[in-house]
Structure 1
């Protein structure tokens, strides 16, 4: 699945507020619920937190990819965020996170979930992509940079 199919300008959130991992996940869940009213923000939040309890989705280099399968979700949904300041996310390299890509997929989308996670992780493994995204000053710019970076990859 392409990044453009996963992400929308309204779910590209530059400088998302949040002083902790849980607060960031709550704000992401609320943003998703605003764009997809059929998805309850409490359910989204609880599923994201449940996944984090299995192990941090902080993959290092200031990046986290919180994700979950979600009952009632009809198609994969992505949320791209930058934060300022960076937040402790229990990442594998112990570095705080300032770049997140949250992914929600339908409950039965096992292989698609894994494939999409691998594509996102590969994109964020490129230091040039991470730097470009961190330099975005508006949500529209963040969205455009992400789509262009994915298309060039």
Structure 2
């Protein structure tokens, strides 16, 4: 699995500011709806249910909200860079500014876990996160995300 298989250029967005974690979840849901045609209310509900199980803020300013969604054909992602970090109840209590939402079919097992592992492993790389934070242009962010694994493979 590769980033290029998970995310479309239209599923990358920079947001100047957002007021709360819940508002951010709305933003992630809306982005997935516009990029993939998924129903935003269904996504939001699934993300909030997953978040209720435990926060998906993994530390170092990164959050990986994810959920299984009815009507999704394959695992897809949405990336948001916040210009102003927000509190996300992260494990390290640091505010979040890099958000990668993952949406998988309800019956997805291994594929969902592989996608989550890929994104998690990649966004634990401080150099990659620094590069993402330094380039607040959606097209550039998409290139950075999809090129990161190409560099590893080379």
TM-score, normalised by the number of residues in structure 2: 0.94
Give the stretch that moved more between structures: 63-72 or 141-150. Answer: 141-150
User: What CA distance in whole angstroms lies between the structure 2 residues aligned with 1:41 and 1:82?
Assistant: 19
Structure 2: runs of 5 or more not aligned: none
Task: For residue 99 of structure 1, report the CA deviation from its aligned partner.
Answer: 0.3
User: What CA distance in whole angstroms lies between the structure 2 residues aligned with 1:3 and 1:101?
Assistant: 11
Give the stretch that moved more between structures: 3-12 or 15-24. Answer: 15-24
User: What CA distance in whole angstroms lies between the structure 1 residues aligned with 2:114 and 2:31?
Assistant: 24
The match for 1:92 is 91
Give the stretch that moved more between structures: 54-63 or 135-144. Answer: 135-144
Q: Is the 8 A contact 2:58 2:91 kept in 1?
A: yes
The match for 2:110 is 111
Task: For residue 15 of structure 1, report the CA deviation from its aligned partner.
Answer: 2.8
Structure 1: runs of 5 or more not aligned: none
The match for 1:74 is 73
* Equivalent runs, 1:1-150 vs 2, <5 Å: 1-15=1-15, 17-37=17-37, 39-150=38-149
- Equivalent pairs counted in the alignment come to 152
**CA RMSD across the alignment:** 1.1
Task: For residue 17 of structure 1, report the CA deviation from its aligned partner.
Answer: 4.1
Task: For residue 36 of structure 1, report the CA deviation from its aligned partner.
Answer: 2.6
